[in-house]
Structure 1
């Protein structure tokens, strides 16, 4: 390499470092693009750059950078496995599954490979294949909580021999790390729940939650402050139309929010059964818009505009990141958790985006949250006192957003939806500006990936199985009943 090229790469890296420190997205992307175009000899650094681009939502650059890392490693299997991880994070499970199957059996290791293949297969709706891989995973790693939890969640295991096998591996599970042991506890809780043993199920879930709480304590003050800021500075006049310019295709995203386990995945599945709609899942890219705006409050948005920023720029950034995930065509359901904290920003930057809020019976919702292992960690879900605190905050947010957004926000009661699915499906389609089609009225017939805890439920006809699920646990949930104000 010539001295001139070396100097040029060094200068570009210096610009990249400065751009990162200033949170200059455009300059960051420009520098990474130039390094890629010039095939900079960055070796292992390409992996870090790929991760940086993935975190910021720039998946095109992230994938190019991971390919550069693979090339620099001379196509080593572990480097290609890094691309498998990236593809999964980008919700491209089919590509990830096929790439991993092409790698050697010991990449990253036999148990880990079987685990990833099992989960991607289940996400893609191939349950038998997924279970077979997951059973291989526990063959290699007896008592391993992550694999057992995936197996437990792959269906009702009350009369399945794998349930008895799971219990025989309890001692082996104790030898794994705290986080893995917690997952095993959730798996055993699911087994006892399927078998109708209320006391044993509760005890196992509670132990798993306690282990997780040790590593992820809930900060009530921070959550309350976050909720307060989300509502600060917005009024019924904040969303008046009449701006000089707006981002193109502002109705492309459909936001479905509400508490976790409130039925958001069911609504997403109904909408994604329409020929013009794709499921997005928990995208989290709205957080990038909050970073660009300097916060989620109306006051932060006002400061952004006062400093020369434009709300249509924020909308265009969201739409760009959406296209990075899904390409330029089709409408996308975004059911990011805690979107309630971003609704003011969403309603301003994307003025035509439909907003849907799911409501479920609080006791059922609380129990479903407590018994669910959330892959990214939900600190408030590990005790009923904390669950009640968070639910009370979300109720305040719902009341506020209903007041300031009016008919822009469609509130869907879960029980009413499952009792009268045709009626509510029609309302959802109308609210989202979608033409009537048969698909949304029979969503269980739609084949698509589903990666949340509701993946199996939504593949069955709409039913009332989720109604009244907490009644057997009411006495054990006394703390929630006492502290929840709704």
Structure 2
């Protein structure tokens, strides 16, 4: 028979779950904490609280909850899988892979744990092991298109591929919207491998249209924000705020459009022994969302006190430095930080900024053909893509006009691929470091890479991505015309 205290804790836990399901997060958090106050090792309450923390952007707090949970209930595979997921969200893929492995040991038929382990191994560059894990997930749940999509994405598809045949035969009526989207992108990748570009583009169009249908994205909102940022961070504004911020020269920001070559540039830099590649970090966006630069950005920055800029820079560097305490430089490769260059310049005047450019048509098509994990919904529509690219291009023109010489280095992807020796040396010199030959063997550097380029940056340079959009010229003609029409505006 259950003890009265145990029954009471279960009732309190169920009450917390009910509040959580109703979206009453503050009350649910208090209820979970109430359960844990009397029963510190209540695994379900710890798990529920960790989910709430993830939903409210407190991922590190979620890690703490789940560490306590697995310590208290070490034989629960769901808890190990949950810990792996939040560690992965923090780019701790080595430990995440170990957590997923533990989950699969405890529950060999846990398909999601096998899939998650494969994803962590993929980001770590362990392609063969990742394929094995994805294969196990497919064997356990053959009707999940995401599992087969992962397998198709890790290998070049050959005629007669069994996973392609299974996806082609899969009835879409029973799939959720996210599963249908994953299916379209998986088929597109497979048809591209097979050289059937007409069918590949048709699947991309369907997948993006499906994704766009469930999105509330507004291109007008982004373009208005870009214009407001340029108007706010004028040359006079930057000049009047000179001398503020932290003196640290640790950060190196790698910015540009998604799919422009930023992952390759970061991998080259991170191959230097004095550089830590931190990947895509949302530190600055999270500061903005937390109101650190005023109630609204960019409108609120004019009211900031001088000390607020210094605190902003120091807090950013402290957060980044925690990832690698002893290196000279740390990269932050969040491409969309391109719209925060003015903020970076004031808060961190000694930070390096590397802007990576790639052929506009190749860049936009690569965005269109990538199923991003995050909400880059401007990529779902070719007309939106052209307008977004134009907004990005105009904003970068503004930064060139208002920044002092030497603050930002421009790297052209095509030139980097054609002459990596010269371009890599230019990169390292810009960062104020001595040259190291390891930068030319960037593909041998073992580090997590949590982007769509996770496998590409672990291969020697190849030129097949240069001019890739030409294969799709008939279907991209409207996009090409829009991009060319905007070049002179």
Q: Tell me whether the two structures share a fold, i.e. TM-score over 0.5.
A: yes
1:145 alignment counterpart: 145
Are the aligned partners of 2:148 and 2:163 in contact in 1 as well (CA < 8 Å)?
no
Matches of 1:294 and 1:231 in 2, distance apart? 17
1:443 alignment counterpart: 442
Task: Summarize the alignment of residues 460-475 of structure 1 with structure 2, pairs less than 5 Å apart.
Answer: 460-475=459-474
Task: Summarize the alignment of residues 331-370 of structure 1 with structure 2, pairs less than 5 Å apart.
Answer: 331-370=329-368
**What secondary structure is seen at the aligned counterpart in 1 of 2:278?**
strand
Are the aligned partners of 1:298 and 1:344 in contact in 2 as well (CA < 8 Å)?
no
Deviation of the 1:445 alpha carbon: 2.1
**What secondary structure is seen at the aligned counterpart in 2 of 1:332?**
strand
User: Kindly tell me: are residues 53 and 63 of structure 1, through their superposed partners in 2, closer, same or farther at Cα, counting changes over 3 Å?
Assistant: same
Task: Summarize the alignment of residues 196-345 of structure 1 with structure 2, pairs less than 5 Å apart.
Answer: 196-240=195-239, 246-247=245-246, 250-290=248-288, 291=290, 292-294=292-294, 299-305=299-305, 309-324=307-322, 326-330=323-327, 331-345=329-343
Are the aligned partners of 2:245 and 2:312 in contact in 1 as well (CA < 8 Å)?
no
Matches of 2:38 and 2:311 in 1, distance apart? 31
Deviation of the 1:60 alpha carbon: 5.5
Deviation of the 1:111 alpha carbon: 1.8
Deviation of the 1:366 alpha carbon: 1.4
Deviation of the 1:164 alpha carbon: 3.8
Deviation of the 1:155 alpha carbon: 2.9
1:375-413 deviation line (CA, Å, top 9, x unaligned):
113211112111101101101111011111143111111
2:134 alignment counterpart: 134
Report how many residues are paired.
450
2:183 alignment counterpart: 184
Deviation of the 1:109 alpha carbon: 6.3
1:3 alignment counterpart: none
Matches of 1:118 and 1:82 in 2, distance apart? 15
Matches of 1:327 and 1:76 in 2, distance apart? 32
Matches of 1:149 and 1:117 in 2, distance apart? 15
Deviation of the 1:327 alpha carbon: 4.1
Matches of 1:55 and 1:183 in 2, distance apart? 23
**What secondary structure is seen at the aligned counterpart in 1 of 2:354?**
strand
Deviation of the 1:268 alpha carbon: 0.6
Matches of 2:39 and 2:243 in 1, distance apart? 42
1:81 alignment counterpart: 81
User: Kindly tell me: are residues 444 and 72 of structure 1, through their superposed partners in 2, closer, same or farther at Cα, counting changes over 3 Å?
Assistant: closer
Deviation of the 1:165 alpha carbon: 3.0
1:252-307 deviation line (CA, Å, top 9, x unaligned):
1210011111000000110011001122111111112323112675652221217x
Deviation of the 1:133 alpha carbon: 1.2
Are the aligned partners of 2:244 and 2:347 in contact in 1 as well (CA < 8 Å)?
no
1:16 alignment counterpart: none
Q: With structure 2 as the length reference, what TM-score do the two structures score? A: 0.84
Q: With structure 1 as the length reference, what TM-score do the two structures score? A: 0.84
Let me know the Cα RMSD of the aligned residues. 3.0
1:41-80 deviation line (CA, Å, top 9, x unaligned):
4955655665676678876644333334445668643233
**Which runs of no fewer than 5 residues in structure 1 stay unpaired?**
1-30
1:426 alignment counterpart: 425
Deviation of the 1:241 alpha carbon: 9.4
Matches of 2:432 and 2:52 in 1, distance apart? 36
Are the aligned partners of 1:118 and 1:132 in contact in 2 as well (CA < 8 Å)?
yes
**What secondary structure is seen at the aligned counterpart in 1 of 2:335?**
coil
**Which runs of no fewer than 5 residues in structure 2 stay unpaired?**
1-29
1:385 alignment counterpart: 383
Are the aligned partners of 2:59 and 2:90 in contact in 1 as well (CA < 8 Å)?
yes
**What secondary structure is seen at the aligned counterpart in 1 of 2:468?**
coil
1:115 alignment counterpart: 115
